[in-house]
Amino acid sequence: MKRIILLLVLVCATTISKAQTLEELKAEQAPKKAKIAELQAEVNAIQSKINAIPGWKKGAFGTIGGSISEFSNWYGQGTPNNASGNIGVTVNAFANNLQEKFFWRNSANINLGWVKLDDKDLPESEQKGFQEATDVFSITSLYGRKLSEKFAISTLGEYRTTILNNFNDPGYLDLGVGSTWTPIKDLIVVTHPLNYNFVFSKGETVFESSLGAKIVADYSKQLGAVKFKTNFSTFQSYKSSDYSNWTWINSFGYTLWKGIGVGFDLGLRKNKQEALNYGLKDDTSLTFDTVDNKLQTYWVFGLSYSL
């Protein structure tokens, strides 16, 4: 009986000792956490001052996604013996020169993807290997002379095409003048009522250049480990709505360790000229009035990186 009582006392004492140790550790941890938060606030304040200094600011972040697989005698599917894979890479880069009386903002967006499906039951000569699946390339340059802290007279050059396949076929070059509004620090709104949309293509195609209005809205933000960028660009043709188009690209990145994390990219686009050009491959009777101008989309999810 005495042994049992002694054992219970020892168990209780050990439990109390551990509880006391845990409370002591938590009490010791609390002021250190508060100190870290205080230091982080100071670091953020210093970074804000650095960002406010006139001059060039450069950076880049993006997403890498990919997968590989192999099936052998998997009879439940149409291709029981195959090897497949896909690779996707996106890059968002910028180089901005922000001065007291003017600014020069430059950015680039690249999204490239490859996909592969090898049917092992087919002859080696019929295997296709990796093929282009995603192909987006655009660069933008915006220069402005400030009239006030939030308004500027500006000129914009924007070029977009594909680079893996059909380079510059089509290719779009927008050149225009107008105004730029920065209502808040990270938001830029460009309105250029005088803009010419040059469209480059080869052979007999439906693509046509025209005069119109260009509107661009760009918002970029970094909150700690989170980076976000959204860019909406539209051209509204004065000649015909058939020549108008818009593109909306969104990029998100969350850094986990030393610039590496997870990322997600989503792109949306509507372009009637592209829809008709593609549709004519199967139906030569299509016109701007009969073509189904479907929403174009892409998305990439995978590892992210930042520079």
Instruction: Let me know if residue 118 belongs to a domain.
Output: yes
98 and 126, same domain (yes or no)? yes
One digit per residue, the tens of pLDDT, for the chain of length 307 reads 655 555 555 555 555 555 557 777 777 777 877 777 777 777 766 766 666 677 788 888 888 877 777 878 676 767 778 788 888 888 889 999 999 999 999 999 998 888 887 877 778 766 677 788 778 899 999 999 999 999 999 999 999 998 888 888 889 999 999 999 999 988 999 999 999 999 998 877 889 999 999 999 999 888 888 888 999 999 999 999 999 999 999 998 888 887 788 888 899 999 999 999 989 988 989 999 999 999 999 888 888 777 6
Nearest CA to 61 out of 89, 97, 96 is that of 89
- Supply angle C-alpha 117, 123, 127, rounded to 5: 30
Q: Which domain holds residue 47?
A: 20-53
Q: Which of 53, 75, 99 is the last residue of a domain?
A: 53
What local confidence, expressed as pLDDT, does residue 9 receive? Answer: 52
What local confidence, expressed as pLDDT, does residue 300 receive? Answer: 81
Instruction: Let me know if residue 225 belongs to a domain.
Output: yes
Instruction: Let me know if residue 6 belongs to a domain.
Output: no
128 and 246, same domain (yes or no)? yes
Spatial separation of the C-alpha atoms in residues 157 and 50, rounded to whole Å: 28
What local confidence, expressed as pLDDT, does residue 75 receive? Answer: 62
174 and 26, same domain (yes or no)? no
169 and 294, same domain (yes or no)? yes
The pTM is what?
0.74
